[in-house]
Structures are given as structure tokens and as C-alpha cells.
Chains A and B, each alone.
Chain A
Amino acid sequence: DAGVTQSPTHLIKTRGQQVTLRCSPKSGHDTVSWYQQALGQGPQFIFQYYEEEERQRGNFPDRFSGHQFPNYSSELNVNALLLGDSALYLCASSPARFTDTQYFGPGTRLTVL
């Protein structure tokens, strides 16, 4: 049984560009959350998707948007990239919206030059 998978593993972009990161949840999971982890910091909650809708959002600007597909996979989109967006982006899935355990993927390392 595959766990949470994310693609790509690494990505390099330049300021002002747009990026899309992808996440496939663990089998049987329908809720996906995204986190940003800057170097030397703990992960920060970006938003959570359930039933193809954004249900909760952290303190991130509208440049950060997402989508959830009928198969529960999810995308994170970041527009107008800034140098400060360089980070590890983690996806986590859980078997239901209000459940006690999130399973994290290995992350996508985004570098903005």
C-alpha cells in the first residue's frame, strides 16, 4: 500500500513564475492538507481540502491556491513566486476530515532564484 506521494521531488523556479505541486493521498484517505516548511523551521499549515473544497486555511496570501480532484489527489499552486517561497512543501492525508492522524509525504523542495 503506497503512502502519500508527492511530485516533483525538487523544483527550481525564478521569481515571478508560477508553480504547481502535486500530491496523491494514502489509499482510503479523502482529506489532504498542505504545509510549508522553511529551512530550519517547523511546518506551517497552508490549507486543507476535503470533498474538493478548501475547508481551512492558514495565514498565507491568495497567491497560494489549491485544488482537490474527485480521486482525492490534490495540487498546490503558487503564483508570482518570491524568494521567500523557497521551502519544502509537505502534503499530508488523513482518512476523514476530523481524524487524529495525518500521514505526511516526503515533500517537494522548491527553490526560487
Chain B
Amino acid sequence: AQSVTQPDIHITVSEGASLELRCNYSYGATPYLFWYVQSPGQGLQLLLKYFSGDTLVQGIKGFEAEFKRSQSSFNLRKPSVHWSDAAEYFCAVDSTSGTYKYIFGTGTRLKVLA
């Protein structure tokens, strides 16, 4: 069965430091992959997505993610974190590519220290 694992429940970084959030998936074919961010009281906002092609994907707010097929990973990165990045981050896979029936990971809560 398809699944998405985000091994880090909480991550704390200092403002200005780099960030990497991990995401691993289990899927039989090449999946569609997504990263979303959720701030308190807000809905989910799409940061970036990967369907095919270049394995390094650029998103909004200075985020990027790299798809590594050999590791079944799609890690999210940001070179310099801002205090406003504190939120919960969700990795998701389209359970049957092209149907947008997402399977989400359990999320990583990011805390940013001033």
C-alpha cells in the first residue's frame, strides 16, 4: 500500500539557519509528490510539486525539494529560515498518479528560534 513517512515530528532551527525536512514514500510507480504548509488556523498551502523531469523543484517562499528515486525520498530544503516559516509541513503523494487522491504524511512541526 502507498504510504508517506515524515520521520521528524518536531524540528527546531535558529532563524537564518538552513532547513531540511525529510519525506519518504512507498509507491509502486513514479508518484506525484507535493509539499504543503499549514499555519495555525489556516488551510494547507502548496509549496511545490514534482511530477516528472528535473528532480530539483523550486517552490514558493524560497523552498526547494529534491526527488531521489533511489532513496524514495522528496526532502524539502530552505537555505535560510525566517521566523515566519514556523508552521507544520506536510508531504503528500498522489495515491494514483493523476487522480489527486492524496496520501499525506503525519507532518513535521517547525519551530524557529529568534
Query: Taking A40-B106, A42-B106, A43-B90 as contacts, is the C-beta distance between A104 and B100 under 8 angstroms?
Result: no
Report B-chain residues with C-beta under 8 Å of the C-beta of A41: 106-107
Residue on B with the closest CB to A47? B101
Which residue, of B4, B32, B45, B104, has the highest number of chain A Cβ atoms within 10 A? B104
Residues of chain A within 8 A (CB-CB) of B105 are 42
- Known contacts A42-B106, A43-B102, A44-B104: A107-B43 contact under CB 8 Å: yes
- How far is A40 from B49 in the complex, measured between Cα atoms in Å? 23
Distance in Å from the Cβ of B15 to the closest Cβ of chain A? 26
Cβ of B103 within 8 Å of any chain A Cβ, yes or no, is: yes
* A95–B102 CA distance with the chains assembled, in angstroms: 16
Using Cβ atoms and an 8 Å threshold, which residues of chain A touch B99?
Answer: 56, 98
| Chain B residue with Cβ nearest A57 | B101
User: Which residues of the partner chain A approach B100 to less than 8 Å between Cβ atoms?
Assistant: 33, 48, 94, 98-100, 102
User: Closest Cβ of chain A: how far from B95's Cβ, in Å?
Assistant: 8
Encode B11-51 as 1/0 by CB contact (under 8 A) with A: 00000000000000000000010001000011111100101
Chain B residues near A44 (CB-CB < 8 A): 104
29 examples of A-B residue contacts, CB within 8 angstroms: A4-B43, A33-B101, A35-B102, A40-B106, A40-B107, A42-B105, A43-B90, A43-B102, A43-B104, A44-B104, A45-B101, A48-B101, A56-B99, A58-B101, A90-B43, A92-B43, A92-B44, A94-B100, A98-B100, A99-B100, A100-B49, A100-B51, A101-B46, A102-B46, A103-B46, A104-B45, A105-B43, A106-B41, A107-B43
Given A56-B99, A56-B101, A104-B43, 13 other A-B contacts at CB below 8 A? Answer: A40-B106, A42-B104, A42-B105, A43-B44, A43-B102, A43-B104, A45-B95, A90-B44, A98-B98, A98-B100, A100-B49, A102-B100, A105-B43
